[in-house]
Structure 1
Amino acid sequence: MTLPPLAPGTRSYYLKLRDRASYEFALASAAVVVEANGGRVRRARLALGGVGTRPWRSREAERVLEGHPVDEHIFKQAAEAALHGAKPLHDNAFKVQLSKLCIARALHNVTTSA
């Protein structure tokens, strides 16, 4: 399958955070697609991995981003929205904060890369 090219002004980025002992499995990951125009997020798609039984899309984070300026504050708000209501288990509670950092970093990278 061949995917169509991204619309002008659209960029994508994938960030995978992992333990040094295991280079294959993500502790947390974020895949983001952002279309920005005039310093504002026109359209966003965000998916998380490594923190649940399967990857999932966060429409909550996408709603936070769309229509807002491209800045670190909104990235943190989107990360909070993506993990709102998370119910970690005892041994993986650290992944909630790690995922938030992963999302914010991925959004930063996708909007600042050339």
Structure 2
Amino acid sequence: MGGVTVFNEKTGVVKNITESEGLPSHMVYGLIDNGDKVWISTTKGIASIDKKKYTVTSYHPNHGWQGTEFSEGAYYQDFKGNLFFGGVEGLNYFNPRTICSSNSKAKLN
């Protein structure tokens, strides 16, 4: 099994989220509740889960992380909202409000 179970108190919905839903790995090492998203570090990268839609956005190592694997218990959120995730090759930190994602698809000719 593995993954993350999310409970929405307002709706009473319980949702189990695994690799099938887009998590980089079922081995979750860190979890930070940050407003409308939950941020997760795993053995294969970082992901965020939208708490209303239960959608997963994965940020794999090619997005600039210190390495593939993050470390168990090595996560923190400071008073400014910056998230810190430690891994086997160092430390990554970022502010999730500054991350822009694009849903556009590349045109293939």
Q: TM-score, normalised by structure 2?
A: 0.33
Relative contact order higher in (CA < 8 Å, ≥ 6 apart): 1
Q: TM-score, normalised by structure 1?
A: 0.32
More strand by share: 2
More helix by share: 1
